[in-house]
């Protein structure tokens, strides 16, 4: 169990006696809990650790959060996909070598927001403000949507909040297979269950504590059988010797077991990272070979594979997906107009400034 | 505490326990000392039979150069311990100027050796040094402080924490060799060479010594030995080619193809060397309409050349 990793719980004083806090603490019996005024106390403590990022993933902080919904920031100069994010959890107990949260949330413990009433008010305001629009929204931006679900029970809670709101697609994105709670309720048609996928070799070497590929795919099959639509993210795609046959096998296995009609979207994005992540990742994952590749510093200051290589990778992916008629489900995550333009015909859709709307909306 | 005139002879300048600054007096400072002497008192403290300099190394050095015999000194009481005296030395300089990373490393080491605990060092001192207040920063600083003479190079070229962290991944022998190699280069050249050697070492899974035995690099290193001024630039372009083979290869092909077009002198054909953009940029420099007409005519003639097509093929290249 992922939550077995948690070695200490901190509670923000404001919410320490709340019903939600008690419910979560009940599931963490035997783990030391301490009340603090704010997150600074924990961050201060983490500073003295040899690995603040790794340590932060083992500390749970139950707190009140000020706001929850925001547009996905994307990257300046990239084609945006019109995504919105809900941040109910911050940080992730899984430990992927390429994860930007290592830099973005450095010093932030695993944080669960307990003020659901405030969240619900904000969400309802969002629903009425965006009424009539068709939007994608997800909880997997600053956390894994399901990794802490056994504690938070957020998936079922969100499912009920989104039920009956067909124009708002809620994506729950994960690298786990922790679906039990959602499979126990009446499926919600506008909930999309999504998995990030990589070949077993990459999962093994770069995605610590995540579920193996076959478990993720088994979970996806179960989700479809229960009536959910699913999505898949090949992101980051890693270039390494043997990448073509490995990724092609993943696509074959996926599309032989999940019918393409049940797939809402597939995103593609090659490995990219901010230069500051490089220092942290090299320190935390000294044996990871993925950062030794040739990169260019692209228009947004991030390291990316050279464009000729990215084009080749995307072209191969689209060809492999086309064999299963799934190529028109594709969008590129954080890619330039140059890359989009190269594939507009092949993926039979797309705009130059936005990956949205998707074909089934138009 | 009292201010008094002190002779340089009374100081044991071999005892550098409080020294963490590496700047030497520059000509301007020496001229000023020659003109008016030392005005601002140095700080000293009695230890055993002699007095130890706590703060004012640059002034003392300037005084020696200018043969100033006596200079004003603020003498601390003997009962003040080394940690307190060093804290004073640190904050006196802190208010006056920015420290280099090398000096920060020395300061951290002194605090550490004088008994300041890690928690205080991380929580209280590192924020003053404008460095991430974390254990790993302290580890880097302490390791850096043990570099001895190498610290001078790191100080002079104002290295940043990231470069230092990469540098420390090399073995002691490699560090020495690397510092000796880059000591005359600029800050940016040093940074890039450390980064690229670090990448190549990881990618090739070989030591620096082996990498440097590769014929092209070895012949470039010969230029360093001969003290040739072009050595730094040559090594950099060689390392860029080695660490970014795809982009370097395509850049090289682009450059050769552009050269083959033999464009008029006042025409410049540019492209994005990262190859993120697939367009060409044509820059014309003209001083009259007639000149522009001539240039455009000449360019139109050149358009028949097959190399133009090749340029766009390279810019739109797909592949590994």
Residues 20-49 in B contacting A (C-alpha not used; CB under 8 Å): none
Helix (H) or strand (E) segment spanning residue A52: helix A52-56
Quick one: pLDDT band at residue A347, thresholds 50, 70, 90?
low
Q: What is the mean pLDDT of chain B?
A: 94
What is the predicted pLDDT for the residue at B222?
92
What is the predicted pLDDT for the residue at A334?
85
Distance from CA of B107 to the nearest CA of A (A): 19
What is the predicted pLDDT for the residue at A353?
44
Q: Which residue has the higher pLDDT, B236 or A78?
A: B236
CATH of span A64-103+114-344:
3.80.30.30
Residue positions counted in chain A: 362
Selected residue of A54, A276, A292, A295 to mutate for chain B interface (largest B Cβ count, 10 A): A292
A30: phi then psi, degrees, rounded to nearest 5:
95, -10
Q: Which of A107, A73, A79 is nearest to A91 (CA)?
A: A107
Instruction: Return the axis-axis angle of helices B187-204 and B172-182, rounded to nearest 10°.
Output: 140
What is the predicted pLDDT for the residue at A352?
42
For B206, the 3-state DSSP assignment is coil
| B319 to A292: CB separation less than 8 angstroms, yes or no | no
| CA-to-CA separations, A275 to A122, A300, B132, B170, in angstroms, rounded | 35, 11, 16, 20
A35: phi then psi, degrees, rounded to nearest 5:
-90, 135
Residues 134-173 in B contacting A (C-alpha not used; CB under 8 Å): 134-136, 139, 162, 165
Percent of chain B with pLDDT strictly greater than 90: 92
Q: d(Cα B76, Cα A75) in Å, to the nearest integer?
A: 57
Q: Which of A300, A262, A303 is nearest to A80 (CA)?
A: A300
Which residues in chain A have their CB less than 8 angstroms from residue B318's CB?
A: 308, 311-312, 315
User: Per-residue pLDDT tens for B250-296?
Assistant: 999 999 999 999 999 999 999 999 999 999 999 999 999 999 999 99
Q: d(Cα B168, Cα B161) in Å, to the nearest integer?
A: 10
| B277 to A294: CB separation less than 8 angstroms, yes or no | no
Whether B313 has its CB under 8 Å from any CB of chain A: the answer is no
Which residues in chain A have their CB less than 8 angstroms from residue B199's CB?
A: 292
pTM of this prediction? 0.88
Measured torsion, CA atoms of residues A318, A319, A320, A326, in degrees rounded to the nearest 10? 60
Q: What is the mean pLDDT of chain A?
A: 92
Q: Look at residue A342 and tell me whether its pLDDT is greater than 70.
A: yes
What is the predicted pLDDT for the residue at A196?
98
Q: d(Cα A336, Cα A78) in Å, to the nearest integer?
A: 5
Which residues in chain B have their CB less than 8 angstroms from residue A290's CB?
A: none
Percent of chain B with pLDDT strictly greater than 70: 100
Domain definitions of chain A by residue range: 64-103+114-344
What is the predicted pLDDT for the residue at A358?
57
For A36, the 3-state DSSP assignment is strand
Quick one: pLDDT band at residue A357, thresholds 50, 70, 90?
low
Q: Look at residue A107 and tell me whether its pLDDT is greater than 90.
A: no
User: Per-residue pLDDT tens for A117-153?
Assistant: 999 999 999 999 999 888 899 999 999 999 999 999 9
- Edge to edge, the sheet with strand B70-75 lists B2-7, B70-75, B42-47, B50-55
Residues 94-123 in B contacting A (C-alpha not used; CB under 8 Å): 118-119, 122-123
Distance from CA of A293 to the nearest CA of B (A): 8
User: Per-residue pLDDT tens for B185-226?
Assistant: 999 999 999 999 999 999 999 999 999 999 999 999 999 889
Average of per-residue pLDDT across B307-316: 95
Q: d(Cα A279, Cα A341) in Å, to the nearest integer?
A: 33
Average of per-residue pLDDT across B2-14: 91
Complex confidence, ipTM: 0.83
For A120, the 3-state DSSP assignment is helix
Residues of A with CB under 8 A from a CB of B: 44, 47-50, 52, 239, 279, 283, 289, 292, 294-299, 306-309, 311-312, 315, 336, 338
Residue pointed to by tokens 């070799």: A201
What is the predicted pLDDT for the residue at A351?
46
What is the predicted pLDDT for the residue at B45?
96
| B318 to A308: CB separation less than 8 angstroms, yes or no | yes
Q: Which residue has the higher pLDDT, A3 or A63?
A: A63
């Amino acid at each position: 169990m992922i939550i077995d990793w948690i070695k200490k719980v901190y509670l923000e004083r404001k919410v320490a006696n709340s019903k939600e806090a008690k419910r979560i603490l009940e599931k963490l019996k035997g783990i030391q809990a301490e009340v603090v005024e704010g997150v600074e106390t924990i961050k201060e403590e983490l500073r003295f650790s040899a690995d603040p990022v790794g340590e932060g993933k083992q500390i749970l902080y139950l707190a009140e959060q000020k706001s929850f919904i925001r547009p996905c920031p994307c990257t300046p100069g990239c084609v945006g996909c019109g995504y919105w994010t809900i941040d109910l959890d911050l940080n992730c107990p899984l430990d992927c070598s390429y994860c930007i949260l290592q830099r973005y949330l450095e010093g932030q413990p695993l944080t669960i927001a307990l003020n659901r009433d405030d969240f619900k008010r904000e969400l309802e305001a969002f629903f009425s403000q965006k009424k009539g629009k068709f939007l994608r929204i997800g909880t997997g931006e600053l956390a894994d949507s399901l990794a802490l679900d056994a504690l938070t029970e957020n998936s079922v809670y969100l499912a009920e909040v989104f039920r009956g709101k067909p124009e708002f697609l809620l994506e729950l994105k994960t690298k786990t297979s922790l679906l039990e709670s959602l499979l126990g309720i009446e499926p919600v048609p506008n909930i999309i269950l999504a998995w990030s996928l990589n070949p077993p070799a990459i999962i093994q070497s770069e995605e610590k504590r995540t579920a193996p590929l076959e478990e993720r795919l088994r979970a996806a099959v179960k989700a479809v059988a229960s009536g959910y639509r699913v999505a898949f993210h090949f992101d980051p795609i890693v270039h390494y010797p043997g990448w073509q046959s490995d990724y092609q096998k993943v696509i074959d296995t996926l599309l032989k077991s999940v019918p393409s009609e049940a797939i809402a979207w597939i995103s593609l994005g090659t490995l990219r990272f901010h230069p500051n992540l490089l220092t942290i990742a090299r320190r935390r994952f000294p044996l990871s070979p993925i950062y030794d590749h040739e990169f260019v510093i692209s228009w947004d200051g991030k390291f990316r594979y050279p464009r000729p290589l990215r084009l080749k990778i995307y072209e191969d992916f689209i060809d492999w997906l086309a064999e299963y008629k799934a190529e028109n489900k594709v969008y590129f995550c954080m890619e330039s107009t140059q890359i989009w333009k190269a594939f507009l015909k092949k993926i039979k859709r797309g705009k130059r400034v936005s990956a949205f709307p998707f074909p089934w909306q138009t | 505490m009292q201010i008094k005139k002190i002779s340089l002879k009374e100081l044991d300048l071999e005892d550098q326990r409080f020294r963490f600054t590496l700047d030497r007096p520059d000509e301007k400072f020496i001229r000023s000392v020659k003109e008016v002497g030392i005005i601002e008192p140095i700080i000293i403290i009695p230890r055993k039979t002699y007095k130890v300099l706590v703060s004012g190394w640059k002034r003392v050095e300037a005084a020696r150069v200018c043969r100033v015999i006596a200079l004003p000194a603020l003498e601390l009481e003997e009962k003040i311990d080394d940690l307190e005296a060093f804290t004073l030395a640190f904050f006196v300089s802190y208010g006056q100027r920015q420290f280099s990373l090398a000096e920060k490393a020395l300061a951290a080491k002194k605090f550490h050796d004088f008994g300041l605990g890690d928690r205080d060092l991380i929580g209280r001192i590192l924020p003053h040094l404008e460095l991430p207040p974390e254990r790993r920063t302290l580890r880097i600083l302490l390791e850096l402080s043990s570099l001895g003479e190498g610290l001078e190079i790191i100080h002079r070229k104002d290295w940043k924490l990231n470069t230092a962290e990469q540098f420390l991944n090399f073995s002691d022998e490699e560090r020495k060799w690397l510092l000796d190699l880059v000591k005359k280069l600029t800050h940016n050249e040093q940074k890039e060479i450390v980064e690229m050697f670090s990448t190549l070492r990881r990618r090739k899974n070989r030591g620096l010594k082996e990498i440097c035995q590769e014929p092209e690099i070895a012949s470039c290193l010969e230029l360093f030995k001969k003290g040739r001024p072009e050595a730094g630039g040559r090594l950099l372009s060689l390392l860029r080619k080695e660490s970014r083979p795809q982009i370097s290869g395509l850049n090289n092909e682009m450059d050769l193809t552009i050269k083959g077009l033999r464009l008029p002198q006042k025409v410049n054909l540019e492209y994005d060397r990262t190859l993120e953009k697939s367009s060409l940029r044509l820059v014309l420099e003209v001083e009259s309409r007639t000149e522009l007409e001539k240039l455009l005519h000449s360019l139109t003639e050149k358009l028949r050349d097959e190399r133009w097509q090749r340029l766009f093929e390279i810019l739109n290249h797909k592949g590994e």
